[in-house]
Amino acid sequence: MSLSRSPSPIPGGGWASPGLNINSGRTSPAHITGGPTAWESAKMRNHNVNGYPSFSTQNSGFFVRHMRKISSNLPRLGADSPYAQKDKLGRGSWEPRNMSMLGRLRSVFRRMGRKLKLRLLIATIVFICLLIFYNSPLLYYWRKSSMGGNGEKFVIILGANPGGGVMEWKGAREWAIERDSVRNKKKYTRRWGYELEIVDMSTKKRYAHEWRESWEKVDFMRTTMRKYPNAEWFWWMDLNTYIMELSFPLQEHLLHNLEDKIYRDINEWNPLNISHPFTDPYLDETALSPVGDGKADSVNLLITQDCAGFNLGSFLLRRSAWTDRLLDIWWDPVLYEQKHMEWDHKEQDALERMYESHPWVRQHTGFLPQRMINAFPPAACSDGTKKNNTRFHYNEHDHDFVVNMAGCEWGRDCWGEMYHYREFGYWLNRNPWERFKEDLVAEIWYKITGQRVKL
Amino acid sequence: MHFAYPPRKSSDPPPFRPRSTRFPLLRKARLRTIGLILVAILGLVWLLSGRSQEEVYQEHVPTGEPPIVIVTVIDPRSYSASYLRSVQENRRQYAEKHGYETFIVEAQDYDTKGYQQSWAKVMAMRHALSKYPNANYIWHLDQDAFIMEPSRKVEEVVADPRVLESLMIRDHPVVPPDSIIKTFKHLKGQEAAMIISQDNDGLVADSVLLKTGDWARYVTETWMDPLYMSYNFQKAERHALEHIVQWHPTVLSKIALVPQRTMASYAHTNLGEGYREGDFVVMLKGCTVAGESSCEKESQWYWQRFRELIVQM
């Protein structure tokens, strides 16, 4: 016989087998339980007491399959109706209208088909997984790992405490600058899974002869390279820098299509008037070429030039044999002895000189447009016109990556500049909710009432 | 066989078939689809992430054509043509025997910017590195030196890593007698890029083997740094080399120090280890341009001997 619906579980247990029993599943199972023929079914029952039978009787049609759902959607009589009251009293399993939210949900869930339940379950799991991934350190570790974002290949070295220590007393402003700068770098490295190494630049009697003072950058670079053996790129940043665009990963911003972003021929911007390329007859083709071998792989030093020449406030080094040599040769007593009176910027001048005299240094150096990693505030490198120079000065419309308040300690207000860029950085990096509030709601409010509100 | 009735069914058939799995989603027919979808997703991930590994910088690997280039800087303004001819012939005949090349240049070809003429030697080395990027080694041999064993190849004398490892002097002060900077203890023959020896005063910059490559270019260019040239080292390029070897570990770490008589025996025994029959190279260091102990006179015997030996081969 064909059943109008799939058999329901019977409170006493046991199943009416449609093959054996002429009656539908609704008949009392009393005579089956205990009987020898019901042994199998009793066993099955023990296995999944709460289970729902997985077979369905002769593929029931659309109406039959959906009848329950449709009926659950049917309008019901109001609670005050006597019928409804009666109904409610009579059949407790029907949920009353004024049931609690939880109860309602439960009943909705109870009425759901198994398939739907499963799908919902999978969707929920996926959703929870995504939520966990994006709101936990998992994302950080993913972006850090070589399988994911490869962030462990990058180390940011932040030179904290410059000139501090025995030379200068640090005041509240200096502490505030340091705190903001460090927090900014931490935020950035956390976001992209990079490493952050904060080094102490305070003046110490580190070297017996006190010669190598201010070559600490070189030594810190070397120790950091030893400390992070997996890292490839090391980005030096002075303390007075601020990363404005936290959403730019270095991989995309710098290294993707690196050869299009750098210029290797210093003649493009040459404030030092270095004659380039070399003309010595004993050099090879690569050394004589203005662009070295022209490939991005051979660039191991990424540096910017400001209005006065090389700027070491923000530069990158790639781990390589060449870099070891550069860091090794950077300070040399014979050169120092001859030049230290002329070299105001110490290691910066030493690098310029190395670039000037050694073809091997030039072949692996690439220059980045300054605003890419080292934009200046208008007060630095200013020509007195107070106008922004498109080569040096920060421009928020172009989304310049980093601001370097270079030279602010010489007669400018470091804390003021840091505060300004910090606040602006916060504004640039607002989350979507803040953007919605400030750019839309507050604007509309302003249009309507003519009053600015802070939300 | 034929039965009147179909075979009897079991008298107590199972009330219903147990379900195949607990999860209907993982039914057999579906498993295949799920598997296929998984494979497709994995493939897509692989395709997207499988961008070719970034090309890393690879320095040029020399092919060994020619294996060795002998670099000599001659000074025709001070020395007689006949003497210089014997010097050139010595290198040329030796190189010809073993398939090497000679690179003989005049000191005046290089602009030493008013400093000692001897800086031209370093420039010549750099020049040879540019001109013969495929040579395994550049051998800088000073003008006042003669190769005395034409039958022996440079490789078997010193350049082969295994030979070199047996010859290397480890943990020895770089500049005699008591520099605190000592040669590396655990340098492998394969890794050495500059083979050099010591005399009584210091490194013998007049007989140096340089392995071609980025490191050799780095060292030669650093060696002739304009600020070293202007520093007025007493012995110009020789002291400059001793300076960079002692101050820069990236230089020191590639230096193999070999016994002096391996490739730089001296004719004047007061300066270093004296030449004995069978030594590879004799250096007439200390000879003068003219007079009683002129290089030309002192070289007579060695040049004769070399010609006898090369004829015998």
Q: Is B58 part of a structural domain of the chain?
A: no
pLDDT over 70 percentage in chain B: 94
Q: Is A60 part of a structural domain of the chain?
A: no
Smallest CA–CA distance from A328 into chain B, residue: B248
Q: Is A8 part of a structural domain of the chain?
A: no
Cross-strand partners of A195: A155
Q: Is A444 part of a structural domain of the chain?
A: no
Structure tokens at A176: 């505030």
For the beta sheet containing B137-141, the strands, ordered from the edge strand earlier in sequence to the opposite edge, are B101-106, B68-74, B137-141, B207-211, B194-197, B255-258
Domain that holds residue A415: 152-425
Q: Is B214 touching A (CB cutoff 8 A)?
A: yes
Residue B255 neighbours by CB distance under 10 Å: 21
Residue B61 neighbours by CB distance under 10 Å: 10
Q: Is A210 part of a structural domain of the chain?
A: yes
Report the alpha-carbon distance of residue A404 to residue A237 in Å, rounded. Answer: 9
pLDDT above 60: residue B157: yes
Q: Is A138 part of a structural domain of the chain?
A: no
Q: Is A69 touching B (CB cutoff 8 A)?
A: no
Please name the member of A17, A320, A324 whose beta carbon is closest to the beta carbon of B15.
A17
For the beta sheet containing B145-147, the strands, ordered from the edge strand earlier in sequence to the opposite edge, are B145-147, B281-283, B265-266
Q: State the pLDDT confidence band at B131, using cuts at 50, 70 and 90.
A: very high
Length of chain A: 455
Whole-number pLDDT of residue A208: 47
Domain count along chain A? 1
A325 and B218 within 8 Å at the Cβ level: the answer is yes
What part of A 361-420 touches B (C-beta under 8 Å)?
A: none
Q: Is A222 touching B (CB cutoff 8 A)?
A: no
Task: Residue A338: list chain B partners with CB under 8 A.
Answer: 227, 230-231
Whole-number pLDDT of residue B55: 58
Q: What is the pLDDT of residues B215-251, one digit of tens each?
A: 999 999 999 999 999 988 888 889 999 999 999 999 9
B15 and A40 within 8 Å at the Cβ level: the answer is yes
Place of tokens 């003008």: B143
**What is the number of H-type helices and E-type strands within chain B?**
11, 9
Q: Residue B202's domain is classified under what CATH number? A: 3.90.550.10
Please name the member of B16, B215, B225 whose beta carbon is closest to the beta carbon of A15.
B16
Structure tokens at B79: 């020395």
Q: Is B59 part of a structural domain of the chain?
A: no
The model's pTM is 0.76
Whole-number pLDDT of residue B251: 94
DSSP one-letter code for A246: T
B16 and A55 within 8 Å at the Cβ level: the answer is yes
A-B interface: how many C-beta pairs under 8 angstroms?
103
B14 and A333 within 8 Å at the Cβ level: the answer is no
B15 and A44 within 8 Å at the Cβ level: the answer is yes
3-class secondary-structure state, position B274: strand
Whole-number pLDDT of residue A203: 64
Q: How far is A297 from chain B (nearest CA, A)?
A: 5
Domain count along chain B? 1
Whole-number pLDDT of residue A380: 86
Q: Is A281 touching B (CB cutoff 8 A)?
A: yes
Of the candidates B270, B265, B307, B304, the one whose C-alpha atom is nearest the C-alpha of residue B142 is B265
A332 and B247 within 8 Å at the Cβ level: the answer is yes
What part of B 22-61 touches A (C-beta under 8 Å)?
A: 23-25, 49, 54-58
Task: Residue A125: list chain B partners with CB under 8 A.
Answer: none
Residue A167 Cα distances to A70, A163, A203, A246, angstroms: 83, 6, 7, 34
DSSP one-letter code for B146: E
Q: Is B245 touching A (CB cutoff 8 A)?
A: no
Whole-number pLDDT of residue A62: 61
Q: Is B117 part of a structural domain of the chain?
A: yes
The whole-angstrom distance between residue A163's C-alpha and the CA centroid of its chain comes to 33
Q: Is B19 part of a structural domain of the chain?
A: no
Task: Residue B123: list chain A partners with CB under 8 A.
Answer: 280, 282
User: What element of type H or E holds B101?
Assistant: strand B101-106
B222 and A329 within 8 Å at the Cβ level: the answer is yes
Of the candidates A407, A412, A431, A427, the one whose C-alpha atom is nearest the C-alpha of residue A241 is A407
Q: Is A318 part of a structural domain of the chain?
A: yes
Please name the member of B12, B127, B215 whose beta carbon is closest to the beta carbon of A282.
B127
Please name the member of B57, B222, B250 whose beta carbon is closest to the beta carbon of A297.
B57
Whole-number pLDDT of residue B257: 93
Q: Which of A210-214, B115-119, B287-291 shows the lowest per-residue confidence on average (mean pLDDT)? A: A210-214
Q: How far is A357 from chain B (nearest CA, A)?
A: 7
Q: Is B119 touching A (CB cutoff 8 A)?
A: no
| Residue to substitute from A218, A282, A299, interface B, most B β-carbons within 10 A | A282
Domain that holds residue B94: 68-312
Whole-number pLDDT of residue A30: 47
Q: Is A392 part of a structural domain of the chain?
A: yes
Report the alpha-carbon distance of residue A208 to residue A309 in Å, rounded. Answer: 31
Q: Residue A347's domain is classified under what CATH number? A: 3.90.550.10
The ipTM is: 0.82
Task: Residue A281: list chain B partners with CB under 8 A.
Answer: 127
B227 and A338 within 8 Å at the Cβ level: the answer is yes
Averaged pLDDT for residues B204-217: 93
Q: What is the mean pLDDT of chain B?
A: 88
CA angle in degrees (0–180, nearest 5) for A130-A135-A138: 80
Q: Which of A181-190, B20-29, B161-170, B191-200 shows the lowest per-residue confidence on average (mean pLDDT)? A: B20-29
Whole-number pLDDT of residue A31: 47
Tens place of pLDDT for every residue, chain A, 455 residues? 444 555 555 555 554 444 444 444 444 444 444 444 455 555 555 554 454 545 555 555 665 555 555 556 665 554 444 454 444 444 444 545 667 888 888 888 888 888 888 899 999 999 999 998 888 888 888 888 887 788 889 999 998 877 665 566 778 888 899 999 999 999 999 999 999 999 988 766 555 455 566 788 888 999 999 999 999 999 999 999 999 999 999 998 998 889 899 999 999 999 999 998 999 999 999 899 999 888 888 999 999 999 888 999 999 999 999 999 999 999 888 888 888 888 888 889 999 999 999 999 999 999 999 999 999 998 888 877 777 888 889 988 889 999 999 888 888 888 999 999 999 999 999 988 888 988 889 889 999 988 888 77
B25 and A118 within 8 Å at the Cβ level: the answer is yes
Residue A35 Cα distances to A17, A46, A330, angstroms: 14, 16, 96
Task: Residue A297: list chain B partners with CB under 8 A.
Answer: 54-58
Whole-number pLDDT of residue A212: 65
Q: Is A163 touching B (CB cutoff 8 A)?
A: no
Biggest CA pair distance of chain B: 137
Beta strands A301-306 and A309-318, pairing class:
antiparallel
What part of B 53-112 touches A (C-beta under 8 Å)?
A: 54-58, 110
Biggest CA pair distance of chain A: 112
A185-197 in b/e form (b: 16+ CB < 10 A) is: beebbbbbbbbbb
| Residue to substitute from B49, B53, B225, interface A, most A β-carbons within 10 A | B225
Q: Is B86 part of a structural domain of the chain?
A: yes
Q: Is A382 part of a structural domain of the chain?
A: yes
Written as one letter, the residue type at A454 is K
Written as one letter, the residue type at A376 is F
